Structure 1
Amino acid sequence: MKEIVMKTRFSAKGAMRAGAMIMAALSLGACATMDSGTPEQIVTKRAQAYWDARLKGDATTAYGFANDAFRQAVSEQKFKQGHMATFAVGAEVQKVECDAQKCDVGTNLKVNPPLPGKKIGTIDVYSKQTWLLEDGQWKLFMEP
C-alpha cells in the first residue's frame, strides 16, 4: 500500500489572519446578540448599563454611551471631571418610549443628598434622558 502524506504549511502570518477573522466574526455575533430586540428593549439595556457604569465610577464605559457630537466636543477626561460626580447610589430604568430615531427614558435614582448637619437618608429622584439612534446604535444625547 502506498501512503499519501499531505504536507500543510502554516505560517505565523496566516494563523494571525485566521485568528483575526474568527475574532471579528465572534465580535459581530456578540454585537448582534447584545443589541437585538425592540428599540425600547435595547435602550433599556443601554440606559441601565450607562447608569451602572456611572455608579461604579467607570468613566470610560459611561463616556462610550454619549452621542458622537458630545464626544467630539468633550474629551473623556473632561467628561470624567464634569459629569461623573453623582450622589446617586442606585439607578433603575423605569420607562422607555421610542419612535424611529429617539427614545425618552425615565430612570429612578436613589440619592443620598448632601445636606450639611442632616442625615435624611436615601430619597428617590426621577431623571429623564433622551437617547438618539446614530449610525445604527442608540446613544445618550448630551449637550457639549
Structure 2
Amino acid sequence: MDRRVKVHQLFLGVCVVALGACATLDQRPKEQQVQERAQARWDLLLKGDVMGAYEYSSPGTKAVMSQEQFAGSIRLGFWKAVKVEKVVCESETACDAQLLVDYEFRGSPIRTPAKETWVKEGSTWWYLRK
C-alpha cells in the first residue's frame, strides 16, 4: 500500500508539472513571436532548407499545397538576405510581417519591402501563403 501511495503522489506531481507547463505557454507579445518565426522561416529559405521552411506553413496551406508543390514554387538562391523589420497585428490571430528583401536583378542589387501574413491556430503562429 505504501508503494501505491508513492506512485500516486508521483503521478500527481507529474500532472501538476504538466499543467504548469501548459500555463506557461509563450507569454511574449504576439508581435515578437511572429517576428521570430518569420525570421526563422526566411533563414531556412536562405540556407536552401525548403522542407524546413514548409513546416512553418499554416495547416490550411498544407492542406492545399504539398511539400513537392511548395518546393517547386521556390527559387532557391534568388534572395540574398531577408530581414523581418516589423510585425503589425490586426487581431489576436492575424499579423502582417513587414520585410526587407535583398536580391539581385540583372547584376544590380535590389532592396524592396514585402509583406506576409501570419495566423495563429492553437498556440502557434503559421505563415499563410496567399
TM-score, normalised to structure 1's length? 0.68
Q: Given the alignment, which residue of 86, 95, 99 partners 1:103?
A: 95
User: Could you tell me which residue of structure 2 aligns to residue 136 of structure 1?
Assistant: 123
1:60–1:94 Cα change, 3 Å: same
Q: Contact 2:46 / 2:76 at 8 angstroms: preserved in 1?
A: no
Shift of 1:86: 5.3
- Structure 1 Cα separation of the partners of residues 48 and 33 of structure 2: 23
1:36–1:104 Cα change, 3 Å: same
Superposed, which structure 2 residues align to 1:36-115 within 5 Å?
A: 36-85=27-76, 87-98=78-89, 99-113=91-105, 115=106
Q: Contact 1:36 / 1:42 at 8 angstroms: preserved in 2?
A: no
Identity of aligned residues (%): 29
Q: Contact 2:48 / 2:77 at 8 angstroms: preserved in 1?
A: no
TM-score, normalised to structure 2's length? 0.75
Q: Which consecutive aligned stretches of 4+ in structure 1 deviate over 3 angstroms post-superposition? A: none
1:40-93 Cα distance to aligned partner (Å, 9 max, x none): 010000000011011111011110111111101111111111135352110110
Amino acid in the other structure paired with 2:45: R
Unpaired runs of 5+ residues, structure 1, are 1-20
Q: Secondary structure at the match of 2:73?
A: helix
Q: Secondary structure at the match of 2:88?
A: strand
Larger of the two Rg values belongs to structure: 1
Q: Contact 1:88 / 1:110 at 8 angstroms: preserved in 2?
A: yes
Structure having the higher strand fraction is 2
Q: Secondary structure at the match of 2:82?
A: strand
- Structure 2 Cα separation of the partners of residues 53 and 76 of structure 1: 15
Amino acid in the other structure paired with 2:56: F
Q: Secondary structure at the match of 2:28?
A: coil
CA RMSD of aligned residues (A): 2.2
- Structure 2 Cα separation of the partners of residues 134 and 39 of structure 1: 13
